Structure 1
Amino acid sequence: MTLFDPLPDTNTAASSTPADQPLIDQAPPVGMTPPTLLAREAAEGRRGAAWRLLHGIMANDPEAVTSVAALDDDRLAHHLLEFIALGTWAGKPFVLPGPLRSAYARTSLRTLFLPGSGMPSGRAEHVLQAAAHDARPAMRENAIHILGLIGDITTTPTLIEALNDSTQSVRLQAAKALGRVGNPAAVPALLRTLRDADEQLGSQIFSTLVHLGSPAVPALIRESTSGSAWIRWHCVRALGEICDYRALPVLVRALHDSDHSVAWMAAKSLARYGKMCLKPVLHVLIDTEMTPWLVETASYVLHDLYVRDAKLKPYLLPVIQSMHGVAYRIATPQAAGKALNALDEAGL
């Protein structure tokens, strides 16, 4: 059988092709059929009509795009998503010429689901929401991806549900989509998913949390005391990237976290705050029992501060030297107190 609807033979070579051999790069002629008729026939599953319609869309024919928008039939949108995800049309093989099989073609066709770019928003979201629960992972993955591109906050529950999908690629798309939607209500779900995430998914969740920005800070602060060092590490790292002043006490406390990797991430995160973190770090050296880890992490932060601002070096270098002395447990709080008073007097 051929991979298109029956068409009159226009090519002698094509007509000699065995009936059961796929026509890999051959295509039916485009013809003069109005795009509105092609859209209706494509919705019914006619692959020949679908080929002509897709050709018109990729050729930037306004009538072809308009016909997709005008057709009141969810089947066309469903078949289109199926083609993007699986390369089939209405569940049947659909082999097209190279240009229509490219990544660019799939990206262009996804645009038809976006507001103002093709089909009505209500139809697009209805079809995509249904496809997010399709039995085929590729359909779910593409539906979630496009919902993220649309960015409608009302899709947040569907995207959160997809964080628990059985397929890794769907979970990754859900985490990415939630960042695009920008609903801070998703933060608790993202952090729950992070607990059992592998490195790839964990990295995507981190990027999403940073993209959400300040609205994610309260939840990140709450989770920064988690019993899981993996969670604390990601929270501290995200708080450093977001650089919200509310996170300073959390990051300063984490300088002496029980997990060495969390403590070092706190030091690197605090360095992003510049002089904002100076007084809180000196206060923790005054009020907290000194430990070898606190010596390392606090030294890193103070050294970074005076490297960035040479005026601070005369005040901070003695504190660092005291932390590396034999009697550092006694000397450090005293040196930090002197530095804090001297900085106040100097207006720094």
Structure 2
Amino acid sequence: MPQFDDPFTTKKPSVTQTTTTTTHAEAIPPLGDIPPAQLAINAAEGRRGAAWRLMLWIIDDDPRAIEAVASLEDDRLAHHLLEFIALGTWAGKPFVVPPKLRSPYARIRLSNLFQAGGPVTRERAERVLFAGFRDRHQEVRGTAITILGKMGDRVAEPLLLQALHDPSRQVRLQAARALGKLRDPSVVPTLLETLKGADEQMVNQVFASLAQIGPPAIPAVVHEMHSASPWIRWHCMRAFGEMQDFRAIPYLIAGLRDPDTGVCWMAAKSLVLYGKASLEPVLHQLESSVPNQLQAETSCYILHQLYRRDSKLTPYLKPVVEAFSGVANTLAVSSLASKALVQLRADHLLTA
């Protein structure tokens, strides 16, 4: 490699040098004529000048650079790539990289090297990423977890479960997110354990992961519906909506009767996501007993959303909604819901 003063590996300029040096640093020096295979070898040895050149080739999808990474029998390059994605350093040393390598896209593109079909073999990816779990930098641990989650590698599951107890809050969040991507029902009990004493963001992530796991997680979410915390119950309603499993509809209907206003509204919004499948259960719960004002309001919101999406339902549902509009008349709502249900059944409009 030509030996010249590389602005991407030099120290940061002093205040008096900033104006002139910044302009110089933004101008990318020529890549040179060193083949990517040699750049990969040099980058694995920790040479930063070779590293940024190789990475520029990679994010430009140059097949020679991809082949160079694939053919290099050296875990160090993958280790350094993981470090760069997480920390922006190379082999433990900071350096300024071209603007093209500073974008989120560049880091995503580099992290894709570890995915199935990428130049980093699965065996090497597992070795490097598992080692990343033990790194002293929380950013490296978190990045390793994120990449493994995208890989969908269940071999990593024991480590991801351990990471739920990592000292770093951010790493714990990423572990919960990665476990959701694995969609393994066996992790549900451990995810629920993390709810004890969890902050708002962790609760949000745990339920998002339960929603990703899908129908096998329904019993666990049903259990949490009885929580004394309205916040937990709210997340249960949200998770049921995201699961899009018809077996969750009865629990969302029950959510419309929750004493907390926020939980009721989340149940209503989630039922709207089920479309016409929620129509009969909503009307039935309105007709079966005189609803209180909140139940009538949330149910009429659902009906309004349904006939807005399907004009054939308007003649049946609009009178129910209008009975509640303005002055609350829950008795009228109940009576008209019963009438609408009879008419819809007679006209065979309750089936999809």
Which residue does 2:298 correspond to in 1? 297
Query: 1:246 corresponds to which letter in structure 2?
Result: R
Contact 2:321 2:333 in 1 (8 A): no
2:152 aligned with 1:151: yes
Which residue does 1:4 correspond to in 2? none
Which residue does 2:44 correspond to in 1? 43
Q: 1:271 to 1:108 in 2, by over 3 A?
A: closer
- Give runs of aligned pairs for residues 221-300 of structure 1, distance below 5 A: 221-285=222-286, 287=288, 290-300=291-301
Report the alpha carbon displacement of residue 247 of structure 1 after superposing the two structures with TM.
1.2
Larger-gyration structure (1/2):
1
Worse-matched range after superposition: 163-172 or 108-117: 163-172
Report the alpha carbon displacement of residue 86 of structure 1 after superposing the two structures with TM.
1.6
Structure 1 distance, partners of 2:230, 2:82, is: 41
1:256 partner SS: coil
Report the alpha carbon displacement of residue 128 of structure 1 after superposing the two structures with TM.
0.8
Report the alpha carbon displacement of residue 262 of structure 1 after superposing the two structures with TM.
0.9
Q: 1:159 to 1:61 in 2, by over 3 A?
A: same
- Give runs of aligned pairs for residues 196-235 of structure 1, distance below 5 A: 196-235=197-236
Structure 1 distance, partners of 2:223, 2:199, is: 22
Structure 1 distance, partners of 2:197, 2:53, is: 46
Structure 1 distance, partners of 2:276, 2:60, is: 56
Report the alpha carbon displacement of residue 75 of structure 1 after superposing the two structures with TM.
2.0
Q: 1:189 to 1:311 in 2, by over 3 A?
A: farther
Query: 1:311 corresponds to which letter in structure 2?
Result: P
Which residue does 2:97 correspond to in 1? 96
Structure 2 distance, partners of 1:344, 1:9, is: 82
What are the superposed Cα offsets for residues 281-305 of structure 1, whole Å, 9 maximum, x if unpaired? Answer: 3443455574443333334344545
Structure 2 distance, partners of 1:108, 1:69, is: 15
Structure 2 distance, partners of 1:45, 1:269, is: 52
Structure 1 distance, partners of 2:322, 2:59, is: 68
Q: TM-score w.r.t. structure 2 length?
A: 0.75
Structure 2 distance, partners of 1:179, 1:187, is: 9
2:46 partner SS: coil
Report the alpha carbon displacement of residue 90 of structure 1 after superposing the two structures with TM.
1.9
Report the alpha carbon displacement of residue 136 of structure 1 after superposing the two structures with TM.
0.2
Contact 1:51 1:96 in 2 (8 A): yes
Structure 2 distance, partners of 1:236, 1:263, is: 8
Q: 1:303 to 1:126 in 2, by over 3 A?
A: same
1:226 partner SS: coil
Worse-matched range after superposition: 335-344 or 134-143: 335-344
What are the superposed Cα offsets for residues 121-159 of structure 1, whole Å, 9 maximum, x if unpaired? Answer: 111122112202311011112212222232223333333
Q: 1:291 to 1:55 in 2, by over 3 A?
A: closer
Report the alpha carbon displacement of residue 347 of structure 1 after superposing the two structures with TM.
3.9
Aligned length: 335
- Give runs of aligned pairs for residues 1-348 of structure 1, distance below 5 A: 9-10=3-4, 25=25, 33=34, 35-58=36-59, 60-194=61-195, 196-285=197-286, 287=288, 290-305=291-306, 308=310, 309-313=313-317, 316=320, 324-325=328-329, 328=331, 340-348=341-349
Contact 1:302 1:320 in 2 (8 A): no
Report the alpha carbon displacement of residue 41 of structure 1 after superposing the two structures with TM.
4.0
Contact 2:184 2:213 in 1 (8 A): yes
1:127 partner SS: helix
Q: Percent identity?
A: 49
Q: 1:208 to 1:119 in 2, by over 3 A?
A: same
Contact 1:115 1:121 in 2 (8 A): yes
Query: 2:69 corresponds to which letter in structure 1?
Result: V
Structure 2 distance, partners of 1:324, 1:48, is: 72
Structure 2 distance, partners of 1:314, 1:77, is: 61
Contact 1:281 1:298 in 2 (8 A): yes
Structure 2 distance, partners of 1:60, 1:314, is: 56
Query: 1:153 corresponds to which letter in structure 2?
Result: R
Q: 1:347 to 1:125 in 2, by over 3 A?
A: same
Query: 1:312 corresponds to which letter in structure 2?
Result: Y
Contact 2:283 2:338 in 1 (8 A): yes
What are the superposed Cα offsets for residues 310-330 of structure 1, whole Å, 9 maximum, x if unpaired? Answer: 231487469869x9448x4xx
Is there any run of 5+ residues in structure 1 with no aligned partner, and where? Answer: 1-6
Worse-matched range after superposition: 104-113 or 50-59: 50-59
Q: 1:281 to 1:122 in 2, by over 3 A?
A: same
Q: TM-score w.r.t. structure 1 length?
A: 0.76
Worse-matched range after superposition: 56-65 or 140-149: 56-65
